Amino acid sequence: MTVVDLGLPRRLVDVTLDGETVSVPEGSTILDACTAVGTSIPTLCYGDTLRPANACRVCMVEVEGSRTLVPSCSRKVTEGMVVRTDSERTRHSRKLVLELLGSSADLSTTPHVAEWMEQYQAKPERFGPPDPPADDHDERPPGEHEEPDGTTAATVQQPAKVDNDLYVRDYGKCILCYKCVDACGEQWQNTFAIAVAGRGFDARISTEFANPLPDSECVYCGNCIEVCPTGALSFKKEFDMRAEGSWDESRQQQTTTVCTFCGVGCNLTLHTQDNEIVRVTSPHDHSVGHGNLCIKGRFGWEHMQDSRRPAEESTEPTTGQA
C-alpha cells in the first residue's frame, strides 16, 4: 500500500535508494520510502495496522555505515542515508531467510512466497528432508532439545488445533511473526488470550498452559486471522474446504459492505465462493475499524447459509415462499 498519511506538514528528508535520491517525509521508514518510489521489498511480519515486530528479517536492506543489515520496515530514514535494497548481501540474506522459513514451516498458503523463492533462488529443501509432524511442541521446555543427527531438518510441523467451530490454529504454518499476539493484545483487541511462549526454535504462540481456546480468554474477534500472513490461522470454513479440496480463490468474489449488527459502522469484506460466504475480512484503511471486527461481524454469518435452515423453516409457514 502506498498511502502515506500526510498529517501535519513534515520536513522532507533526502535519502539515496539504490543510487537514486528520493525525498520522503521525516519519520518515514525505509520501507515507506521504497514503497513511494515503487521499489518492492518482501515483508512477512510487517503489518500495515501494527507496530513493526522486526522478527521475520525478510525485509532487510543494506545501509551505508551500518555493521549489520537493517530492517526496512522499522528503521526510520535519516538525512543523507544511503540504502541498497538489492545488493548481493541483501539478496543473500533474503534468500537464506526464505530458506530457513521454508525449511521449518509450511508456507503453502503464504501469499507471494513462491514468487520470492523463485526470485531469490531459495531452496529450502537443501537442509534435508523435513522432520515429520510432532505433537509435543507445546510441552517443549526452554534451554534443552533432543540432539539431532542432521539427517532431517527440524520443523514446526504439528497437527492443526481444531478446538472450536469458528477458527483453526494450524501452527505448522506459523512463522512466529508476532502479529496475532499484537492484534490480540494492547495494539488492538486488549484481550491478551495468546502470547509467545517457550524459547528459541520451540517458541510458539500459546494460550496460558496451552489450554484449548474455549477455555482461554479468546473472544473470537478473529483479528488474529485478519493479520496472519501465512494462513496458520484460518476460518474453520476455509480449513475444511481446503481439506476437502474445494477451496478455490480464483472462483471467489469480494464484496465490501457495512456490518449490520450494531451502529458502529465497521466495514466487512465478504469473500464468497459459489454464492456462499467463506471468509470475512475488513479493510485495513477503513477509518472505523482499521481491519478489526468483533465476533459478530467476523463470524456471525453462518445463519445466512445454514444448511439446516430450509428444513427447520419448512415446519412453519413463511411468507414469500413459493
Partner 1 sequence: MDLHYLDATPTEAERAAVDALLGSPEGGNGLDPGTVHGHGDAHNGGHPNGSGPFPAHGAAHGNGSAHGNGTRDGRDMLLPALHAVHDRIGWISQGALNHICRQLSVPPADAYGVASFYALFALRPRPSRVLHVCTDLACKANGSSELCDRLEQSFGPAGTAVDGMTWQHSPCLGACERAPAALAFEAGDPARTQLLAPAGTDEIEESARSGPADADREPPARESVPQAGDPELRLLHRVGVVDPDSLDDYRAHGGYIALRNALRAGPAEVIKQVTDAKLMGRGGAAFPTGRKWDSTASQPVRPHYLVCNADESEPGTFKDRILMEGDPFSVIESMTIAGFATGCAKGYLYIRGEYPRATRRLANAIAQARERGFLGRSIMGHEGVDFDIEIRRGAGAYICGEETALFNSIEGYRGEPRSKPPLPVEEGLFGKPTVVNNVETLVNVPLILIEGGEAYARIGTERSTGTRLFCLSGTVARPGLYEVPFGTTLRELLDLAGGVPEERTLRAVLLGGAAGGFVRPGELDLPLTMEGAQEAGTTLGSGVVLVFDDTVNLPAMLLRIASFFRDESCGQCVPCRVGTVRQEEALQRMAGGKAPPDGDDLALLREVGQVMRDSSICGLGQTAWNAVESAIDRLGTLSKGGPA
d(C-alpha 168, C-alpha 158), whole Å: 13
Exposed, middle or buried, 101 (CB in 10 Å: 0-12/13-18/19+)? buried
d(C-alpha 282, C-alpha 297), whole Å: 9
Single out the segment in contact with partner 1 by CB under 8 A; choices: 26-34, 112-120, 204-212, 300-308. 204-212
Which bin fits 150, alpha (ψ -120 to 50), beta or left (φ > 0)? Answer: left
Question: Which element (helix H / strand E) includes 299?
Answer: helix 295-299
Contact pick of 4, 134, 166, 196 for partner 1 (by CB under 8 A): 196
Exposed, middle or buried, 185 (CB in 10 Å: 0-12/13-18/19+)? middle
- Tell me the three cell numbers of residue 172: 505448522
Q: Which of 299, 264, 258 is nearest to 280 (CA)?
A: 299
Contact pick of 118, 135, 136, 149 for partner 1 (by CB under 8 A): 149
d(C-alpha 271, C-alpha 253), whole Å: 6
Distance in Å, CB of 298 to partner 1, minimum: 19
Contact pick of 7, 38, 150, 245 for partner 1 (by CB under 8 A): 150
Question: What is residue 294's three-state secondary structure?
Answer: coil
Is there binding between residue 92 and partner 1 (CB under 8 A)?
A: yes
- What part of residues 205-234 is at the interface with partner 1 (CB under 8 A)? 206-209, 211, 216-217
Single out the segment in contact with partner 1 by CB under 8 A; choices: 15-23, 185-193, 248-256, 311-319. 185-193
Is there binding between residue 81 and partner 1 (CB under 8 A)?
A: no
Task: Between 203 and 277, name the residue whose CB sits nearer to partner 1.
Answer: 203
Binding mask 11-50 for partner 1 (x = CB under 8 A): ----------------------------------------
**Residues contacting partner 1: total by CB under 8 A:** 62
Is there binding between residue 295 and partner 1 (CB under 8 A)?
A: no
Contact pick of 4, 36, 160, 197 for partner 1 (by CB under 8 A): 197
Is there binding between residue 87 and partner 1 (CB under 8 A)?
A: no
Task: Between 80 and 129, name the residue whose CB sits nearer to partner 1.
Answer: 129
Task: Between 114 and 258, name the residue whose CB sits nearer to partner 1.
Answer: 114
Contact 69, 96 (CB under 8 A): no
Distance in Å, CB of 217 to partner 1, minimum: 4
Q: Which of 142, 179, 156 is nearest to 55 (CA)?
A: 179
- For residues 264-286, one letter each, b for 16 or more C-beta atoms within 10 angstroms of the residue's C-beta and e for the rest, the string is eebbbebbebeeebbbbbbebeb
Task: Between 199 and 251, name the residue whose CB sits nearer to partner 1.
Answer: 199
Contact 176, 204 (CB under 8 A): yes
Question: What is residue 196's three-state secondary structure?
Answer: strand
Exposed, middle or buried, 253 (CB in 10 Å: 0-12/13-18/19+)? exposed
Contact pick of 27, 80, 111, 129 for partner 1 (by CB under 8 A): 129
Single out the segment in contact with partner 1 by CB under 8 A; choices: 149-157, 160-168, 248-256, 263-271. 149-157
Residue-level length of the chain: 322
| Interacting residues with partner 1 (CB under 8 A) | 52, 54-58, 60, 68-69, 71, 74, 89, 92-93, 96-97, 100-101, 103-104, 123, 125-129, 139, 141-145, 147-151, 153-154, 175-176, 185, 190, 192-203, 206-209, 211, 216-217
